[in-house]
Chain A
């Protein structure tokens, strides 16, 4: 019998410019013990659908039509109080960020016991016993001791386990997990996904797993529903939908996922809903290509960076945290050098040290044979800066919201080159045409563009001074997968046609495999392995690299 069914659900948010229909005519069926994946890009309405089932749509938004049934009971139109009783008791939720889902002022035990007693008729000590059993069940060792600890004493992965325990307290029928592993590192993600799968099987709970990550979908879901712009476009068994999709959008989405098991020349972009903007490399570069020199362009030797952990006037009492520890590598002219590692491994710090944004606490950086660091002379630094540029991770914070797009792109030119005003305008127009936005885009402000368009603006800015060396710091991790594919293709084109040298930083192994010629693996600030990409992926040497590769979600196409 169907556990949860959603029929023809519509959710709308009224705004001053009329209703925004977030979800239209959505259907969804969940069976007991089944993991139902809900996948789509940002704005697809997948989280809204989850919130609607929970009855958590924020006013003034609301469910406009359709029905939601839990077993035989209709729960779509319940009032607040009835919904509150149901929520948690029958349906519970696991949120994306375990940091904000727990109250930092209460011990983990207090929070679980309170939730248990709210839903089940148990005495305090019985509830505590159950809480310990639950923590034990979700894989927290020494549960009877750790139950009295506070959330900050748990690591990110452990905290997410606590959140899962919390969701299980009331013995729910359905659990809605909204991007439960997005905030976690890949090694922890694998453990959490295993746990979710086990629990679903064992307790016969229906799980709705909301995610944007095709790898996660392929890994653990039984059935998948694909959403696009508030509508369900396809639903079916995971193997069928991923292997042989019926809908064009699903096909487009899958073609954009970087395969972990092989290197492709370019992403095959199947456009859905209109033509893709053309990128014109000649326009971008004005026919300019970076001179190819022999040997390494960047030589980083024994890079070391300390961050102050505890300040003190007395030097011996200061404490430091070594973010980057004796890292050496070189980047040959014209190659893409990748740095991978989990959060906190020091990869972004290294990028900023090479870009002379951070000072060096040890070691040296040589660019084209010359030493550079923050202490170099201004003329030296400016000539260096003209030749290096950076593309940042977050397209929403990397463009100044109060500056017009043309001013943003022109800034490096105005500051670093001696072009006249007219020449700057012409170069900016050409750059905007080149990245496929059109020169009229220059008169607009960044907030008028989508994430992918903003990242194109970042690319235009980075290429304005015609650099030889480009640092890409997680350039696509904030983007949807189809947009990621477009941006990665642009970067590949640039790299090949302009002889650009690149430092490509990412935590995403499949992306690294597509982009890089050589890869360095970082762990806790140390470089543990450095090899050609294919060698690294096919025959990893270091135990940590092997572990990372083993845990990478398997999603194979083609």
Chain B
């Protein structure tokens, strides 16, 4: 803190560019020196890339009935089919669908639902957390009591409740179409509480700082102070929680789909694939279940490890 007079004038030195600064930041440095984080990120990038490029790289379109041949049913991985001679690297299911292709498309659904649900939960949770932490008093009590009540139910139960309610009010013809959106809504609404709690406590710390008073002094409104001043300063724990909840949301989606209340068979997610596969597990067709399950595991695990690493770097005290 000692004032070094010779450094007081900073005109001579040009600030480095944004990219140089990012590469040089402690976060990037710690990332480059963490093998776990590096491997996790590579796995996540490969899976996300595969999901995004699924229509291009998938050998078959598993949802086009015309391309399906029932004779291909139950093809073993890497072995030519006894009737058609076709080879499926990860085998084929009972309908003769290529498991590899269905996984690529399933990954798409899983990731889409997971990311959207977390974004929704983040939006709701951060908004309520900011308001509760900044305004305080009665408003804070009401918001946090709602959060407490919701926490007493397992989130999967809340999600099933919302899913059931939404299903009840949708006409049968549209059910499959809206199923994905209902799923996002259900998981997002069941997950906002932890965002709200963390943001609330961080906001209460920031609210007491003098820069907030400086903004109040010039008459900024509460909303402007929350958005411009407090929000950027409470984002790092949000980032950590978002990453960890992404893994949880993907698993929640898989669980719901596995239970049959999630993604419909016409738009199968990884969870749907696992549900389909488990029927064949005991009859020896293990690959129908195994490969989607391994993909889900790899995705959830690497996202989780990334989240753990982020938490350790950004906020060692959260541990």
Contact = CB atoms under 8 A, between A and B. Distances in A.
Interface in A196-245: 229
B210 A394 contact: yes
Interface residues of A, number: 55
Contacts of B8: 276-277, 436-437, 453
B214 interface: yes
Contacts of A482: 3
Contact of A399 (B5, B13, B211, B232): B211
Interface in B215-246: 215-220, 228-229, 232-233
B203 to A, nearest CB: 14
Interface string A432-447: 0000111111011000
A483 B9 CA distance: 15
Contact of A443 (B15, B211, B228): B15
Contacts of A84: none
Given A397-B211, A400-B211, A439-B11, A389 B217 contact: yes
B5 A276 contact: yes
B2 A397 contact: no
Nearest to B212: A400
Contacts of A400: 211, 215, 229, 232-233
B67 interface: no
Interface stretch (A101-109, A147-155, A411-419): A411-419
Contact of A450 (B1, B211, B233): B1
Contacts of B216: 357
A343 interface: no
Contact of B3 (A355, A382, A461, A480): A480
Given A390-B214, A411-B218, A440-B15, A16 B3 contact: no
| Chain A, interface SS category | loop
A450 B2 contact: yes
A43 B2 contact: yes
Contacts of B209: 397-398
Contacts of B217: 355, 357, 385, 388-390
Nearest to B211: A400
A444 B214 contact: no
Given A401-B233, A416-B218, A44 B5 contact: no
B261 to A, nearest CB: 42
A461 B214 contact: yes
A393 B210 contact: yes
A482 B2 CA distance: 9
20 contacts: A41-B1, A42-B1, A43-B2, A276-B5, A382-B219, A385-B219, A390-B214, A393-B210, A394-B210, A397-B211, A398-B213, A402-B232, A436-B8, A440-B10, A440-B15, A441-B11, A444-B15, A450-B1, A483-B1, A486-B3
Given A42-B1, A450-B3, 20 more contacts: A44-B2, A274-B5, A355-B217, A357-B217, A378-B219, A397-B209, A397-B210, A397-B211, A398-B214, A400-B211, A400-B215, A400-B233, A415-B220, A437-B9, A437-B10, A440-B10, A440-B11, A440-B15, A452-B1, A480-B2
Interface of A: 16, 41-44, 229, 271, 273-277, 352, 355, 357, 378, 381-382, 385, 388-390, 392-394, 397-403, 411-412, 415-416, 436-441, 443-444, 450-453, 461, 465, 479-480, 482-483, 486
